[in-house]
Structure 1
Amino acid sequence: MIGTAVPATAATLVVVLLLTSGGICRLAVDAREPFACDPKDERTRGFPFCRASSPIPERARDLVGWLTLQEKVKLLGNTAAAVPRLGIRGYEWWSEALHGVSNVGPGTQFGGDFPGATSFPQVITTAASFNASLWEAIGQVVSDEARAMYNGGMGGLTYWSPNINILRDPRWGRGQETPGEDPIVVGRYAASYVRGLQGSDGSGRLKVAACCKHFTAYDLDNWNGVDRFHFNARVSKQDMEDTFNVPFRMCVMEGKVASVMCSYNQVNGVPACADPNLLRKTVRGAWRLDGYVVSDCDSVGVFYDKQHYASTPQQAVADAIKAGLDLECGPFLATHSGEAVRGGLLNEAEVDGALLNTLTVQMRLGMFDGTPSAQPYGTLGPNDVCTPAHQELALEAAGQGIVLLKNQGPTLPLSPRRHRTVAVVGPNSDVTVTMIGNYAGVACGYTTPLQGIGKYTNTIHQQGCVDVACHDDKLFGAAIEAARGADVTVLVMGLDQSIEAEFKDRDSLLLPGRQQELVAKVAMASKGPTVLVLMSGGPVDISFAKNDPRVAAILWAGYPGQAGGAAIADILFGSTNPGGKLPMTWYPQDYLASVPMTVMDMRPTGSNLYPGRTYRFYQGPVVYPFGHGMSYTQFVHTIAAAPAAVAVPLDGRRPANATNSGRAVRVTHVRCARLSLGVQLDITNAGARDGAHTVLVYSTPPGGGGGSWVPQKQLVGFQKVQVAAGARERVQINIHVCKYLSVVDRLGVRRIPLGEHRLHIGDVKHSVSLQAERL
């Protein structure tokens, strides 16, 4: 079990050895010629930018000095042109690695020695593990495989992943790509996964270059006639500061990501890729991005052609580069930047600045250091892709992310001795590619739910519906008969990319077509208990099944990756004790009637006509709440040690009236560096099974929960811990006061409320008083 306080399994130890042991034999790969600075090329030996021992900033400046304007502008698009006279090959910047090396971008292909790569669970499923060390371990494996494919001439080194937008609305088709609705969880995921991808040895060199996207307030694809290319997200300063920008700030400042991608949409009337306040002032200035800013594909053309923000193509590229854009996914910058310079709309020095940012990242990747096999990670090859350890980690990740929503009786786990025959029913019961979601590549192999269950007991298989659309009941009869003859029935239902995807937002939270009818009829006829397993990225209103006593248990599997069927079966039969928690709220269907996707406000209105969004602000009925998830054992929380009061040290240089009447203090007026609140928790496993438990620590600030602008509660800490049956483990949760106990006022100013903060850990509560102290 990958986790801070979780003992490593044998599979995990193998992964760690693969990642850290310099003595393991790897297959050397020389399939890729040097990108630049080929030691066999006499022309390049005298170029200062080829001296690997020189500081990278000096090398990058030297290289830019050799380039002509015509050569420079051809490097501004994702398909960067070669510069033959300088011995530099062309490069494709666009590759994807959302949850495994993907072939969605043109920079990566599968075939030959690389027929596939490890396909981990979709991000929303992995996020449900609430296990930051697992997130980083997955990133390490993905980057090993990415480097191997680069060395073999089949991939790039710049990966435009992860997607760290907030899952603000349950209908969003790309919600599956995100780590959920909580800004802190999403930011922690971003920083952890990026560290795994890029390497974190402190040298400044990069294993691969990650990219956090899509900046910012981007979470609508195509809803009710509004698409992402034309959408103007109207966002308050308050929501921008305490929701939408939080993950990106954490990704840049804590994860040290090498790239940020700006989004298609406008933010308060300005295209994100043309807004200097967002790109130059915030990302590069306040957050100190050490890397490059790239546009979403054709974004500059989009704000010219579709949004009509600029009067000419030349003005559009000038606006983008001046705002802080360094690279475009698409040809628009490369086509029109030269004209913009010659027309006086853009200085060549501004083009140079953009190139310095991209070339510096390429040099940090070792692309100007000669032969790939001589570089760090240069010996990774085909033997390092789809290894048994990597595939075991994919199985473990799926097991950690699957959430047990209901277990009446309890019905689960099943027993192969008592449940000798299982009816496996449903349109997702024997699927492969459905399990890996979108932005996926070619998996090493698949274990479907039917195959997974079949390893434990005998199965009777009926689809029940031709596909998830489930337009008719032609296959219902056979499914009902299978349920009548089996000891237990497992219905594997839900969604797929035909229902929720990029370009496709949902218009309903219900199961598609006649799926609900199939579940009800099969449950009614089943000889034994009925278990419902759901595959989906976004939440589904399954109130009917939650309230139906004939549906005895419910699992949410998300999109569980290549080993999803094995992970589902392991949980059904008790080989794995479920420990996942929902990373998003599951709303009832009628929530949609009062919440247009185009309204960005997180907080409810005073009239209650708009109920607000996410567990932090929404107070209405839910199907299942954020953080819900059951286990086959019982965990008991006890606070072993926690302070009753914490002094908040004010910066003595600030005027006495700077504390806002004493009710709250600006974070910028506080000495935050070591201001942390430590809570020691004892977690006791009071049941008969070993299990992994997710500790979720919430805080209700003063004034919270009363309908004000303060969150009713917010997650301030989480940790995964493995506890043996009957044992007790102590967990230390450190809560950074300025980061996690602060709130944002209506003007977008982050403040620490003074007074009583109530901490919630399960059913345990503890109050901490924060009081200002002038030094």
Structure 2
Amino acid sequence: MSNFAYCDSSLPFAVRVKDLVDRMTLMEKINQLGDNAFGVPRIGLEKYEWWSEALHGVSNVGRGTHFDNLIPGATSFPTVILTAASFNESLWKTIGQAVSTEARAMYNLGRAGLTYWSPTINVARDPRWGRITETPGEDPFVVGTYASNYVRGLQDVEGTENVTDLNSRPLKVSACCKHAAAYDVDNWLGVDRYHFDARVTEQDMVETFLRPFEMCVKDGDVSSVMCSYNRVNGIPTCADPRLLKETIRGDWDLHGYIVADCDSIEVMVDFHKWLGDTQEDAVAQTLKAGLDLDCGDYYTQFTGPAAKQGKVREEDIDKSLKYLYTVLMRLGFFDGSPSFNSLGKNDVCSDKHIELATEAAREGIVLLKNNKTLPLQSSKFRKIAVVGPHANATSAMIGNYAGIPCQITAPIDGFSKYGKVIYEMGCGEVLCKNESFIFPAMKAAKNADATVILAGLGLSVEQESLDRVDLLLPGYQTQLINQVAAVSKGPVILVIMSAGGVDISFAKENENIKAILWAGYPGEEGGQAIADVVFGKYNPGGRLPITWHEANYVDLLPLTSMPLRPIDSLGYPGRTYKFFNGSTVYPFGYGLSYTHFNYSLVSSQRSLLVNLTKFHHCRNLTYDNDANKPPCPAVLTNDIECNNYIFELEIEVQNVGERDGSEVVLVYSKPPKGIAEAPLKQMIGFNRVFVKARKNEKVNFVFNACKSLGIVDYKAYQLLPSGQHTIVVGDDVVSYPIQVSFGFDQ
């Protein structure tokens, strides 16, 4: 082996990988195309399991990672939907760094792989989707920003982030953005992801479903993308060359490999019955489309026969293997990674990481209601009734794609540090089918200085392969909450654990319920984080990353209707805050604090002149009233040097209260009035800033006009409209116009 070029670390990766692939026979090559790559002992190539998961901590889902007596667990951070609610980019990256440190340490000890099929970055289009817990919410810009930050945290090796040759950039671990694309139906009223054909307009594809993936590849430089089970407009995503080869690898320039969701090729054959394909046809289709790796055994079983039948070129197999082994080269699989060799057992479940998990939960928790009650004073509220199906939550706080947590602090444990806890479960489980547990909870509330009710959803209601059919609390939970609130001696605080929104209008309007918190699924230290917020050790600053709809939303349109814009002919409302204009329980971006913040505009740019030449062409836009249409409605963003058209905004955030706190500054743009089917508004920036009591901080934003003021028309062109746009900060706390004009150089 000392003479093999692939073992010579002085040679470029491309040369080494070619040498490695060229040394294999056809069948040896094929045996490396499944997630369980067999290796080739004849040439010293070790076997490798590609499938590991690290959605919010190193997971034991996937065959590449396991826990035992040496490494009994890993830090379990809050599920993604709660972490997203922090709107804190640096936190997202820091969590990625912590997770990858634990992953590398476990790899060194033979307990984990180097390739992690995380994060999930599908947009949460509908509150009924079961996998919202895995996602960063409903806004494609927020989802993409989360993705690029978390991926950078997982992958980046300090000092090598900006190397010229990205195909040789070292990786700490390899991340994977999934599931491309338009995947957000799992199992709803007889419709499942293995049969579903998502009928999507090209406009929605560009504007919403593909945008986070494009950001993940371009901004995060992710080293893998996973295609999904569903079809899009009739074509299985894992067999779509336009999506895989032309867009992800071509237009976006992926430096890495494309992998199928597990058994997706088998799903194509058995459930989609795509083109009546045989197994050999299917592997030929997917290889040619640009699918490099099969999570499953279809490639390893049927690519050989497909090659013998003349349906597969060995060249296509070689190409996929080169992508795969280049990633393993970058990870140090062949040479080792000296900068990570020292990581070991002490780097897993470290005190630092456990505190980071606690802080992440605190930052994500959203205060939805506060009737001058929170925070509680521990000196005044010494006896606390902690009741409800999540009062003693353990695994429920961890969510799915979880490993074994280092430790778990349940809510009753967290509150016991602030006073004497009287615990009653109130419900036997989240589904709350038995009302007999309610009376003991009422009795506890009568004998306590304050009552905390922990209710909500769980994996028995929403998770992979399980979509919701309503937006209500399960079983007798509503009755539990109302009856406990009616008899409680002290103030009642309701804490909701869920991923998707819940219609809790009854609690919002109930004067006996003084405060409401949303805590997502807050990870292993969730109980501590919730108690810290309730008793004021931490001032909440989280914001909802999804809209909380009223219960009748589910009667307005089916989960399977994919368009985001309203469909007037069917009476369907729009989806997400960008297009839904009805009433809500709580809107996207909502969240209160124990203090109060004022905004003032320090500086802003009010006009932007885009220089055009005779080689530029005006593009038409449809207006509701042609009288509002300017002479040159828009230009293609691809036709102008977008980096030359930047505008800035500076906001002063003043904390006018008596408590230190963090404020999330949300910035939206509204397109010129009258453009048909344009978004009501769209998020273009956010920043979480800590401001001490009676102090102020300045927050500066720099925007690219094409990205921040651009729209996608019905033909899927990305356009910059002329006219008066509006920049909105927060919930219309500050707004100002910015005029986009086109100047023609004759």
TM-score, scaled to structure 2: 0.96
Partner of 1:748: 716
User: Aligned-residue CA RMSD in angstroms?
Assistant: 1.2
- 1:559 aligned onto 2:521: yes
Residues 715-756 of structure 1: CA deviation (Å, up to 9, x unaligned): 111001000000010100112211121110001111111111
Quote how far apart the aligned CAs of 1:654 are. 2.4
- 1:156 aligned onto 2:113: yes
In 2, Cα distance between equivalents of 1:126 and 1:555: 15
In 2, Cα distance between equivalents of 1:657 and 1:609: 34
The residue type paired with residue 342 of structure 1 is K
The residue type paired with residue 679 of structure 1 is L
Partner of 2:626: none
In 1, Cα distance between equivalents of 2:454 and 2:110: 40
Secondary structure (helix, strand or coil) at the match of 2:95 reads helix
2:61 alignment partner, one of 101, 104, 123: 104
- 1:288 aligned onto 2:245: no
In 1, Cα distance between equivalents of 2:492 and 2:472: 20
Is 765-774 or 140-149 further displaced after alignment? 765-774
The residue type paired with residue 435 of structure 1 is M
Quote how far apart the aligned CAs of 1:658 are. 5.3
Quote how far apart the aligned CAs of 1:528 are. 1.0
Matches within 5 A, 1:177-188: 177-188=134-145
2:735 alignment partner, one of 735, 744, 765: 765
In 2, Cα distance between equivalents of 1:656 and 1:716: 26
Partner of 2:338: 375
In 2, Cα distance between equivalents of 1:674 and 1:452: 52
Gap regions ≥5 residues in structure 2: 164-168, 622-630
Partner of 2:315: 349
Partner of 1:576: 538
Gap regions ≥5 residues in structure 1: 1-43
In 2, Cα distance between equivalents of 1:53 and 1:432: 50
Residues 636-681 of structure 1: CA deviation (Å, up to 9, x unaligned): 010100011012234x362444576511111112211232211000
The residue type paired with residue 186 of structure 2 is D
Q: Is the 8 A contact 2:614 2:744 kept in 1?
A: no
| Total equivalences in the alignment | 725
Matches within 5 A, 1:238-637: 238-310=203-275, 311-369=277-335, 372=336, 375-408=338-371, 410-607=372-569, 609-637=571-599
Residues 27-60 of structure 1: CA deviation (Å, up to 9, x unaligned): xxxxxxxxxxxxxxxxx21110111121111111
TM-score, scaled to structure 1: 0.92
In 2, Cα distance between equivalents of 1:247 and 1:648: 27
In 2, Cα distance between equivalents of 1:591 and 1:303: 33
Q: Is the 8 A contact 1:584 1:626 kept in 2?
A: yes
Is 248-257 or 738-747 further displaced after alignment? 738-747
Q: Percent identity?
A: 51
Partner of 1:693: 663
Quote how far apart the aligned CAs of 1:62 are. 1.0
> Per the alignment, do residues 649 and 429 of structure 1 end up closer, same or farther by CA in structure 2, a change over 3 Å counting?
farther
In 1, Cα distance between equivalents of 2:366 and 2:74: 26
In 2, Cα distance between equivalents of 1:659 and 1:624: 37
- 1:235 aligned onto 2:200: yes
Q: Is the 8 A contact 2:672 2:725 kept in 1?
A: yes
Q: Is the 8 A contact 1:426 1:493 kept in 2?
A: yes
Partner of 1:34: none
2:602 alignment partner, one of 640, 646, 656: 640
Residues 259-299 of structure 1: CA deviation (Å, up to 9, x unaligned): 00000000000000000000000000000001000000000
- 1:192 aligned onto 2:157: no
In 2, Cα distance between equivalents of 1:182 and 1:106: 32
In 2, Cα distance between equivalents of 1:285 and 1:731: 37
The residue type paired with residue 444 of structure 1 is C
Secondary structure (helix, strand or coil) at the match of 1:430 reads coil
Residues 746-774 of structure 1: CA deviation (Å, up to 9, x unaligned): 01111111111111113111111111234
Q: Is the 8 A contact 1:298 1:330 kept in 2?
A: yes
Q: Is the 8 A contact 1:649 1:671 kept in 2?
A: no
In 1, Cα distance between equivalents of 2:384 and 2:250: 59
Residues 49-105 of structure 1: CA deviation (Å, up to 9, x unaligned): 111121111111111111100000001100000200111111100000000000011
Residues 376-407 of structure 1: CA deviation (Å, up to 9, x unaligned): 31221101111111111101100000000000
The residue type paired with residue 103 of structure 1 is N
In 2, Cα distance between equivalents of 1:674 and 1:194: 28
Secondary structure (helix, strand or coil) at the match of 1:683 reads strand
1:654 alignment partner, one of 615, 620, 625: 615
Partner of 2:166: none
- 1:73 aligned onto 2:30: yes
Partner of 1:48: 5
Residues 397-419 of structure 1: CA deviation (Å, up to 9, x unaligned): 000000000001x1100011111
In 1, Cα distance between equivalents of 2:171 and 2:557: 43
Residues 102-147 of structure 1: CA deviation (Å, up to 9, x unaligned): 0011100011321111100000000000001100000000000000
In 2, Cα distance between equivalents of 1:654 and 1:739: 22
In 1, Cα distance between equivalents of 2:463 and 2:363: 24
Residues 564-615 of structure 1: CA deviation (Å, up to 9, x unaligned): 0000000000000000000000001101011211110000123471001000
Q: Is the 8 A contact 2:617 2:635 kept in 1?
A: no
Quote how far apart the aligned CAs of 1:368 are. 1.3
In 1, Cα distance between equivalents of 2:673 and 2:15: 53
- 1:722 aligned onto 2:690: yes
In 1, Cα distance between equivalents of 2:699 and 2:345: 40
Q: Is the 8 A contact 1:659 1:666 kept in 2?
A: no
In 2, Cα distance between equivalents of 1:168 and 1:152: 40
- 1:137 aligned onto 2:137: no
Quote how far apart the aligned CAs of 1:472 are. 1.7
Q: Is the 8 A contact 1:579 1:693 kept in 2?
A: yes
Partner of 1:667: 637
Partner of 2:627: none
Quote how far apart the aligned CAs of 1:171 are. 0.6
Quote how far apart the aligned CAs of 1:420 are. 1.4
In 1, Cα distance between equivalents of 2:680 and 2:189: 31
Matches within 5 A, 1:31-42: none
